[in-house]
A and B are shown apart, each in its own frame.
Chain A
Amino acid sequence: MNQIEQNCSYCNSFSTTKIDSYKFIWKICSNCGCAESYKKESYPLDFMKYPLSKYLEKKSWKQTRDRLLKNDVVDEDNSKIYDYFTNENHIKLSKEDALEFNQNVLEKYSIDINNKKILDISGGNGHFIKYFQDKYNCDCTLTEYNKNALEYASSTLNIKTQYYDFTKHKFTDFFDNNQFDVIFIRASIMFMDDLSTVLEDLSTVLKDDGIIIINYSVTPTLGTILRTQFDEYNYKHLYSKTFIVETLERYGFNSIGLSRNYDFSMYINSLDSFPMERIITRWYELKALKNKFIYQNEFTARDRRRYDMVFRKKDSSKINNTKYFNTINFIDSLSDSLNEDFFMILDRLCKKIDVVNEIYIEYLEDLSKRTTLNTLPLEYKLKLVRMLFTLGKKHEDWKFINSALKLSAFFPKEKKEIEKYIKDKNIVK
């Protein structure tokens, strides 16, 4: 594992903290509410690979052993952990999921999929989408990462399938533009590395007015972090609902439904039935709770909570002409000579520094509202500090100097320079 950067991978904010767990470190961000996992190179019992663990063969220890030790299978091909998709139990669960989804999402939000073309991303063994293919006469395509499941769906259920790896492929590599009416992203958004790129890609293969349904988007909670800490292969990204909604809105979608549900089978206390896991879980739980940061947002929840979200793609011909303000472009265009328009914009950016305590990359044109959770990169914050200070000195503008000083917290050299200026300056009028 490389050194974990302080800034958030999703929004650039430095308001992050790291939460330790048995096999993973999580970096959670209070600005965008997202969390990212980093697998540890080593953890307490990782030296005890399976050959050494024969001493733990007693039945009562077996399950704990399998979870606490290192599983080399995942290192070879992590898609193999999903081989259970074709187990009898999982097939039963997939069929039940389809019934629940029909009632809790399609019927709830009045989504008509009769005779529609549907893409089911990471559709597993195919029984889920088969239900809708039969019930609503849909034209369904399934993508999947696990080859066993893919083969099963294709040969046993006669469903159109496509092997798909989020880390390697693009949907536009396999599908035509404006091809699908509805796209299901079920329990898989947590593995999408670059949400913006994936959404842009999906938006291309989705028809205008088409629907994207994100089902089971797991949100960052302490319960999830602890409950998954023994897994060899874990969620990579836990996106907050705000982040997902704002990202989709940026790519031309309107949110038409959002609901939260809980997965009680993943409640943290279910680990208590295994003594060793109970001790380890309590240890990491206490460590996490000592960090005040965790008390923000929903992080302290002990359950695994997740969101269902429904979005409709705007008709590209009807997308409004909302104008945006791009902070990076503005900073790049700044010069020492300050015209009135620039002055007004800088004055408004001071409010972001002073009140919001953060500057975002994009706002509505009048800077009244941010349109993204992506914060300004550090190098641009530095440019802004320098510009505010230069203009503040030139025009004896204390508001600019005040904001430059506040923003200079990350830049010791500039901070020192501003402090010296204030100290030496005679302010008597």
Chain B
Amino acid sequence: MLNKVLPFILLASDNYATLTYLEYLKKEGFYFKKIIYVNKSNQVSIFKKNENKDLVNRLQDNFSLRINYDIDFIDYSEYSSDIETVKVNSDYDDNLLKVVKKYSSEVFFFSYRGRVPRPFLDVARFIHIHPGIMPNIRGSDGLFWSLLERGKAGATMFFLDEGIDDGEIIFQSEYLINDIQIDLNKYTTSEIYRGILNYFDPYIRAKVFVEAIKQKNDLLQTLNSYEKVEGRQFFTMHTLLLEKVIKTYFGEINE
């Protein structure tokens, strides 16, 4: 088992992706050198306790790791010895900008909210993982568009730029989904959709992260062939199309 400190500062809020990254990396023996936890005033837990256990288990069957999402907030002390908490009133307020400026020579791994505004991009570099093969699959519902357009679930690790899912690519990979069988009659489309976004999509992203760590000598080295290509930006998938993708890749066709 490797035991390696990653050359990134994690910029995080409590969300499913953050917990999945941290657990996945911990299992593989990787740790962030520092975690900056952004704490918004009056924050409530986003984790939904006792959510369809069977659905969550099914979605995690593809992975050799089961994560306990039945928590209120993430205990970051389990994942790094260097944790700094920043209190903010709005997502990208001056308090956060000050902290980012303080570490401007470092590279941040982004697992926070929304789009990073220009002033932040001007003072530091941020790495993010998008659920889709860039530049072909950019935008919303990346996992579902990846399945519909390419028949695989993929993700891309890249340096954030100002555009949507735009920037120099570090690593990307995609996977066939074969073994997931969800009883589609048992859950609504909305429950399955949310389940996939919360309990499956972050796994794919964490998997790509770990693959990148294992395969690349220099994690900051971008792909040589990078050329700024616009690709296509996708938007929220219509429910009917979503049902079709879910049925095809997560439902009865696999049974």
Q: Taking the complex as formed, is A402 at the interface, i.e. its CB lies under 8 A from any CB of chain B?
A: yes
Partner of B236, one of A347, A354, A423, A428: A354
A428 touches B234 (CB 8 A): no
Instruction: Identify the stretch in B93-101, B102-110, B194-202, B241-249 within 8 Å (CB) of chain A at 4 or more residues.
Output: B241-249
Q: A351-B233, A354-B236, A398-B149 are in contact. Are A428 and B241 (CB under 8 A)?
A: no
B238 touches A347 (CB 8 A): no
Q: Taking the complex as formed, is A150 at the interface, i.e. its CB lies under 8 A from any CB of chain B?
A: no
Q: How far is B240's CA from A419's CA once the two chains are assembled, in angstroms?
A: 7
Q: Taking the complex as formed, is A93 at the interface, i.e. its CB lies under 8 A from any CB of chain B?
A: no
Q: How far is B47's CA from A33's CA once the two chains are assembled, in angstroms?
A: 38
A427 touches B238 (CB 8 A): no
- Residues on B with beta carbons closer than 8 Å to the beta carbon of A18: none
Partner of B150, one of A350, A403, A429: A429
Q: How far is B232's CA from A265's CA once the two chains are assembled, in angstroms?
A: 56
Q: How far is B248's CA from A403's CA once the two chains are assembled, in angstroms?
A: 21
- Residues on B with beta carbons closer than 8 Å to the beta carbon of A350: 235
Q: Taking the complex as formed, is B7 at the interface, i.e. its CB lies under 8 A from any CB of chain A?
A: no
Which residues of A from 370 to 429 have beta carbons under 8 Å from B? 398-399, 401-403, 405-406, 419, 422-423, 425, 427-429
Q: A351-B233, A399-B232, A422-B244 are in contact. Are A428 and B151 (CB under 8 A)?
A: yes
Q: Taking the complex as formed, is A355 at the interface, i.e. its CB lies under 8 A from any CB of chain B?
A: yes
B233 touches A405 (CB 8 A): no
- Residues on B with beta carbons closer than 8 Å to the beta carbon of A401: 241
Q: Nearest-CB distance from B215 to chain A (Å)? A: 25
- Residues on A with beta carbons closer than 8 Å to the beta carbon of B152: 429
1/0 contact string of B212-240 vs chain A (CB within 8 Å): 00000000000000000000111111101
Q: How far is B178's CA from A7's CA once the two chains are assembled, in angstroms?
A: 48
Q: Taking the complex as formed, is B148 at the interface, i.e. its CB lies under 8 A from any CB of chain A?
A: yes
* Size bin of chain A's contact surface: 10 to 19
B238 touches A399 (CB 8 A): no
A427 touches B245 (CB 8 A): yes
- Residues on B with beta carbons closer than 8 Å to the beta carbon of A403: 235
Q: A398-B241, A401-B241, A405-B240 are in contact. Are A355 and B235 (CB under 8 A)?
A: yes
Q: Taking the complex as formed, is B253 at the interface, i.e. its CB lies under 8 A from any CB of chain A?
A: yes
B241 touches A405 (CB 8 A): yes
1/0 contact string of B132-173 vs chain A (CB within 8 Å): 000000000000010011111000000000000000000000
Q: A398-B148, A428-B151, A428-B253 are in contact. Are A406 and B238 (CB under 8 A)?
A: yes
- Residues on A with beta carbons closer than 8 Å to the beta carbon of B145: 398-399
Partner of A402, one of B151, B233, B238, B253: B238
Q: How far is B238's CA from A399's CA once the two chains are assembled, in angstroms?
A: 10
B148 touches A351 (CB 8 A): no
Q: Nearest-CB distance from B249 to chain A (Å)? A: 8
Closest to B234 in A: A399
- Residues on A with beta carbons closer than 8 Å to the beta carbon of B235: 350-351, 354-355, 402-403
Q: How far is B141's CA from A363's CA once the two chains are assembled, in angstroms?
A: 27
Q: How far is B151's CA from A398's CA once the two chains are assembled, in angstroms?
A: 13
Q: How far is B164's CA from A354's CA once the two chains are assembled, in angstroms?
A: 15
Partner of B232, one of A347, A354, A427, A428: A347
Q: How far is B238's CA from A422's CA once the two chains are assembled, in angstroms?
A: 11
Which residues of A from 96 to 145 have beta carbons under 8 Å from B? none
Closest to B151 in A: A429
Q: How far is B245's CA from A429's CA once the two chains are assembled, in angstroms?
A: 12
Q: A351-B233, A399-B232 are in contact. Are A428 and B148 (CB under 8 A)?
A: no
Q: How far is B104's CA from A237's CA once the two chains are assembled, in angstroms?
A: 55
Q: Nearest-CB distance from A423 to chain B (Å)? A: 8
B241 touches A422 (CB 8 A): yes
B248 touches A427 (CB 8 A): yes
Closest to A354 in B: B235
1/0 contact string of A349-370 vs chain B (CB within 8 Å): 0110011000000000000000
Q: Nearest-CB distance from B242 to chain A (Å)? A: 10
Partner of B241, one of A347, A355, A402: A402
B240 touches A427 (CB 8 A): no
A428 touches B240 (CB 8 A): no
| Interface core residue of B151, B234, B240 (most chain A CB under 10 Å) | B240
- Residues on B with beta carbons closer than 8 Å to the beta carbon of A351: 233, 235
1/0 contact string of A231-246 vs chain B (CB within 8 Å): 0000000000000000
- Residues on A with beta carbons closer than 8 Å to the beta carbon of B238: 402, 405-406
- Residues on B with beta carbons closer than 8 Å to the beta carbon of A423: 244
Q: Nearest-CB distance from A219 to chain B (Å)? A: 29
Q: How far is B149's CA from A427's CA once the two chains are assembled, in angstroms?
A: 9
A428 touches B248 (CB 8 A): yes
Q: How far is B140's CA from A354's CA once the two chains are assembled, in angstroms?
A: 11
- Residues on A with beta carbons closer than 8 Å to the beta carbon of B253: 428
- Residues on B with beta carbons closer than 8 Å to the beta carbon of A405: 238, 240-241
Closest 6 CB pairs of A and B: A429-B151, A354-B235, A405-B238, A398-B148, A402-B238, A427-B248
17 interchain pairs, CB-CB under 8 A? A354-B236, A355-B235, A398-B145, A398-B149, A399-B145, A399-B232, A401-B241, A403-B235, A405-B240, A419-B240, A422-B240, A422-B241, A425-B244, A427-B244, A427-B248, A428-B151, A428-B253
Other A-B pairs, 15, CB within 8 Å; known A399-B145, A425-B244, A428-B248:
A347-B232, A351-B233, A354-B235, A398-B241, A399-B232, A399-B234, A402-B237, A403-B235, A405-B238, A405-B240, A419-B240, A422-B240, A422-B244, A427-B148, A429-B151
Interface residues of B (CB under 8 A from A): 145, 148-152, 232-238, 240-241, 244-245, 248, 253
